[in-house]
Chains A and B, each alone.
Chain A
Amino acid sequence: MSHAETMLPALPPPPEAQKRYTLSRLLGRALLGVWLAASVGIFLFAVDSWSPEKFAKYGPSFLSGLRVTLTLVAISVVLGGVLSLPIAYGRMTKNKVLSWIAYGYVYFFRGTPLIAQLFLVYYGLGSFRPYLEAIGLWSLFKDAWFCALFTFTLNTAAYQAEILRGAIESVPRGQHEGAAALGLPKRVAFFKIILPQAMIVALRPYGNEIILMIKGSAVVAIVTVFDLMGETRRAFSRTYDFQMYLWAAVLYLIMVEILRNLWAWIETRLTRHLKR
């Protein structure tokens, strides 16, 4: 019989395992170093060419440009949302003619660049000046801002119609059948059962569409609308200061990031009943 008479003294903890210096670690550090160097370089560049009078002169115009961008996007997204309803209906209807018209509309606006559409409206509609004057719309269409709004509305309507259609069609058949089994009229079933489920599916694509519109709206600067990009281009052409583009980049990034996080929050909030 033997038993331990004394307790073993506590051993010190084993030495921490040396992390191996892997290739990916090296690469990660190197890339972070590149970003750091780039941001320091940009910061130094900004400090180097910083001048208070430029800031005082162009700061307010940047803000007004920001306002123009936001109003343009907000109005066109809302109007486009309204316009997308009949188009989405046309895409889903069994009527051949309507569905072909809607398909052609969507195909045209999704298949061509936004900037080409904008040129088509802004420069192209000038060819129809006599007719537009006759119906009194010329004063609207000679304004670059209105042309941009018009083009954006038509463009985003096509995208939103596709989002809406995809979302409605993503609701499983069983939901329609369930509503029919309960004896609900088609209208009630659509608004109370199908649409709420479809909107949750559509939420994320709608957010992406708004972000795409904010980014896409930069092209209006080319047709002399002074949105954020337009103001930036004006400031750059007067000062030849590359900083202007960097400031615009920061503003755009902030806008997009705010919207993205807001949308993520809305989504988690609205889908909390689906979490298990």
Chain B
Amino acid sequence: MQAAFAALSSIVSWFASMIDPICGPIGIFRLFAQDTLLSCGDTGWGDEIAQGFMITVSLAICTLPIGLLLGFFIAVAKQSEEKSLRLAVNIYTTLFRGLPELLTLFIVYYGLQILAQQAMAAIGFEGPVEINAFVAGMIALSFVFSAYCSEVLLSAFKAIPQGQYEAGDALGLHRGKTMRLIILPQLVRIALPGLGNLWMALLKDTALVSIIGLSDILRQTGIAARVTKNAFEFFSIACLLFLILAMLSSLVFSALERWTKRSEAAR
């Protein structure tokens, strides 16, 4: 099992290194920044920054499904007739929309550490317990993302007329099937612009995990800046990489939007 896992991870990392857009065989730094500070390998910072880029992207991509799913269920709970359920999820969204993302991150990171330490102490293990910064970042960002996502989805839910549910009933569809076949496709169409904005915000928020020690774009460029004393260049590169991510995502989202609207009548 362990061996299989190791083999799988090495295959994945080989694949990732082949398609790496920054330091891969056809990466931009490899092609254009051969003998500069940004070259890939031991002499330059290109590969470190490429690693940071990968970590930022993977953190955002890992957070997205969790946040979306959580946000969806919260949005459904917000429409419940049950008062206590609504109250509970409203507390959740007020909390995570009101707290600064950085503070949420710290609270999750240190709070989890304390909780884990106490739990370990309870079962008789003494010693320092360290929480993975990636996991802590993922949890904190999913909390924030899901809180905002639930608001976007809630307003999208409200934009779907009651008649759609009634039509589902009239067709004899089960509740879950109505949701899956009738409501969700329309929901995605309505909520997509809002979700796109949230994704951009998520991408930008991932920069905060550099503070709790995850080696993302900002941390790697920060280290490079401190070592080489070329702070402006390296932080510009960090900004540029984030801009490229934003551009790529806006391309993806406009394609998605076209795709979700493919069945709409042309106007």
Spell out A's residues near B (CB within 8 Å): 22, 24-25, 27-29, 31-32, 34-35, 107-108, 110-117, 119-120, 123-128, 214-219, 221-222, 229, 232-233, 236, 242, 245-246, 248-249, 252-253, 256-257, 260
Contacts and interface: CB of A to CB of B under 8 A. Distances in A.
Given A111-B246, A120-B239, A125-B232, A28 B84 contact: yes
B83 interface: yes
B232 A246 contact: no
10 contacts: A24-B82, A27-B82, A112-B239, A116-B235, A117-B239, A123-B231, A127-B229, A242-B114, A252-B103, A253-B98
Contacts of A221: 102
B94 interface: yes
Interface in B217-243: 218, 222, 225, 229-233, 235-236, 238-239, 242-243
A245 B110 contact: yes
A108 B243 CA distance: 7
Interface string B66-96: 0000000000010011111111110100110
Contact of B99 (A110, A123, A126, A253): A253
Contacts of B208: 113, 115, 219
Given A116-B235, A215-B98, 10 more contacts: A25-B84, A27-B85, A28-B77, A28-B88, A112-B242, A113-B207, A119-B222, A123-B222, A218-B100, A256-B98
B257 interface: no
Contact of B232 (A35, A117, A128, A252): A128
B165 interface: no
Nearest to A248: B103
B231 A116 contact: no
B189 interface: no
Contacts, number: 145
B213 interface: no
B107 A245 contact: yes
A55 B97 CA distance: 27
B218 A113 contact: yes
B115 to A, nearest CB: 10
Q: How large is the interface on B (under 10, 10 to 19, 20 to 34, 35 or more residues)?
A: 35 or more
Interface in B182-213: 200, 204-208, 210-211
A35 to B, nearest CB: 6
Nearest to B76: A24
A31 B103 contact: no
Contacts of A117: 239
A28 B74 CA distance: 11
Given A24-B85, A124-B231, A245 B239 contact: no
Given A219-B102, A257-B98, A120 B87 contact: no
A119 B107 contact: no
A242 B243 CA distance: 36
A245 B103 contact: yes
A119 B86 CA distance: 41
Contacts of A32: 84, 87-88
Contacts of A242: 110-111, 114
The 8 closest A-B pairs by CB, nearest first: A28-B85, A28-B84, A31-B88, A124-B232, A113-B207, A218-B100, A111-B246, A113-B204
Contacts of A245: 103, 106-107, 110-111
A264 to B, nearest CB: 13
A22 B85 CA distance: 11
Nearest to A22: B82
Contacts of B242: 111-113, 116
Contact of A229 (B82, B98, B102): B102
Contact of B103 (A120, A123, A229): A229
Contacts of B91: 35
A79 B54 CA distance: 37
A79 B210 CA distance: 29
Contacts of A214: 100
